[in-house]
Amino acid sequence: PDTIEECLKLRIVDGDKQGLEDDLAEAMRTHAPLAIINEILLDGMKVVGELFGAGKMQLPFVLQSAETMKRAVAFLEPHMEKVEGQEKGTIVLATVKGDVHDIGKNLVDIILTNNGYRVVNLGIKQPLSAILEAAETHKANAIGMSGLLVKSTVIMRENLEEMQRQQVRLPVFLGGAALTRAYVEDDCFKAYGEGPVAYARDAFDGLSLMDKVVT
């Protein structure tokens, strides 16, 4: 690769961690950490998804790419700008039951945390009961559910149906690659008894939704 951008993208595709931090440090001379993630590394993950989807990449290699991505984010995270001051509010964040994908959710965590929110990140494969319990314990202002599998979009809708049954009325944000805005704003909205549920296309969308909830 000729440029540092191409080199980093290739590292994600190849799952190549050796010397990763040196390349990231070099890229940081010309790019903000968040731009490195959004404009370079996520491009690499997109290629991984396409290769995997086309049967041209096996799962263990996808895992290597995911680990490289996580290590890159961990290196960049301390260098990101943070908003100082009082906590603006609390969100409980989880990847839904049956789903292990957490790179996107963890990016949402970083963006919200850096912008003054307290994030209770429950991790992956979380049943609704755990999410609701955490929301109550931490007096959350909102719940964020993430999931990348088509199956997870169904789980999210079922979660909202159950929340409707239990008369929970907390704002809910849904994010993840298999969702569409229409599915969230129509099916999920109805499942939640026309309660507050919104689609978050990316982490910044999640941030602006959270800003709306607390103001």
Q: Which residues bind ligand B1M (CB under 6 A)?
A: 42, 45, 48-49, 52-53, 59, 62-63, 66, 98-105, 107-108, 144-146, 148-150, 173, 175-178, 200, 202-203, 206
Between 20 and 177, CB nearer to ligand B1M? 177
Is residue 16 part of an annotated ligand binding site?
no
What's the rounded Cα separation, in Å, for the pair 146 and 93? 8
Query: Is 79 labelled a binding residue?
Result: no
22 annotated binding-site participant:
no
Active site annotation includes 101: yes
HEC readout, 99-158: CCCCHHHHHHHHHHHHCCEEEEECCCCECHHHHHHHHHHCCCCEEEEECCCHHHHHHHHH
Question: Nearer Cβ to ligand B1M, position 28 or 149?
Answer: 149
Instruction: Please name the amino acid found at residue 161.
Output: E
Catalytic residue among 31, 65, 109, 152: 152
Shortest distance in whole angstroms from residue 12 CB to ligand B1M = 10
CB of 66 to ligand B1M, least distance (A): 4
Residue 59, judged by CB atoms within 10 A of its CB (0-12, 13-18, 19+), counts as: exposed
Catalytic residue chosen out of the listed positions 23, 65, 99, 109: 99
Q: Does 187 participate in catalysis according to the annotation?
A: no
Active-site residue among 101, 109, 202, 205? 101
Q: Pick the closer one to ligand B1M by CB: 173 or 192.
A: 173
The answer to whether 148 and 96 have CB atoms below 8 angstroms apart is no
Q: Which is nearer to ligand B1M, 7 or 177 (CB)?
A: 177
* Distance, CA of 117 to CA of 99 (rounded, Å): 25
Q: Tell me the Ramachandran region of residue 116: left when phi exceeds 0, alpha when psi lies from -120 to 50, beta otherwise.
A: left
Active site residues: 99, 101, 152
